[in-house]
Structure 1
Amino acid sequence: MKKTASSSRAARSSLSTADYALLAEFRYALRRFIAFSEDAAHAIGLAPQQHQALLAIKGAPGRDGLYVGEIADRLLIRPHSAAELAGRLVRMDLVARMADPEDGRKVRLVLTAHAEQLLEELSAAHLEELRAIKPLLTRLLARFDDGAAD
């Protein structure tokens, strides 16, 4: 169950300076990775959201491609924004529209060979970066598991 601001008011009174420092450090580590990701996407001519969409499509569990609504869900954007993004990706020859084999009225977005090549390059760089920051993330996450910010 998702905690709301009002449901966590009681927890706020028990937060220490170290808790805030841990949260700040963790957010900083995540933001550094996001900045790396955005820079890597830009370096090969993609907007970060385009990269995210390609990765979501490639990572679709159990099938080839995603529907526009699923892309919206995965990227936390509105369906009309996902439709516009899909149109740009089609025009860039990064995705193709394919009729769903089970329901021809539905259209899936699938990666083109060009997108597969770009995504492989980006993903290799991202995995390398994650391996480099794994010790830091592991330390930070362990501090959360301990229930105390050291």
Structure 2
Amino acid sequence: MKTKSLPPLDKVGLERQSQFRYELRRFLRFGELASRAAGVTPVHYHLMLHTQGFQDRDWASVGELAERLQTSPHGVVSLVSRCEEAGLVSRQGSKTDGRLVEVHLTPKGRKIVDRLAAQHQAQLDGLAAVIQAIRNISDA
């Protein structure tokens, strides 16, 4: 993929990007540790979380999960199988489209997602504050 040649960032721009990436990595690391402490892998948590990420429904299709996880549908099918074996999700055929498979949380998966999402919220609020501060610096 070719990109248009852009001028190099100044020192302040590099500092902003460094700070953002540091804070983002701290958020991601927190999530990795919290997921493992809850007995699931980070990618299992992400898959379960993304089943809840669509307005007006509490499930996601394999294709939607692949997009959210930025991976292939084939890989998501394997991940769903592992989560299903762990009792975290279940597959259900769509009542309206026979070609579609819906991935739903099980009660066990719901409990884990609810707990982890609550733990992540404070971290997310902190990350949002950092992003706002970086924006304020660039607006100044």
TM exceeds 0.5?
yes
Taking every aligned residue pair, what percent have the same amino acid on both sides?
Answer: 31
Verify: 1:87 aligned to 2:81, yes or no: yes
Which has the higher mean CA deviation after the structures are superposed, 131-140 or 31-40? Answer: 131-140
Gaps of 5+ in 1: none
In the alignment of these two chains, the number of paired residues is 140
Query: Structure 1: how far apart are the matches of 2:118 and 2:6?
Result: 43
Partner of 2:70: 76
Change (3 A) 1:72 1:11: same
Verify: 1:54 aligned to 2:51, yes or no: no
Query: Structure 2: how far apart are the matches of 1:10 and 1:25?
Result: 21
Q: CA deviation at 1:131?
A: 2.8
Structure 1 SS opposite 2:3:
coil
* TM-score relative to the length of structure 2: 0.91
Partner of 2:6: 10
Q: CA deviation at 1:134?
A: 4.0
Aligned-residue Cα RMSD (Å) equals 1.7
User: Quick one: which of 35, 38, 52 aligns to 2:32?
Assistant: 38
Q: CA deviation at 1:128?
A: 1.8
Verify: 1:23 aligned to 2:20, yes or no: no
Q: Which runs of 4+ in 1 moved over 4 A?
A: none
* TM-score relative to the length of structure 1: 0.85
Change (3 A) 1:23 1:80: same
Q: CA deviation at 1:101?
A: 1.3
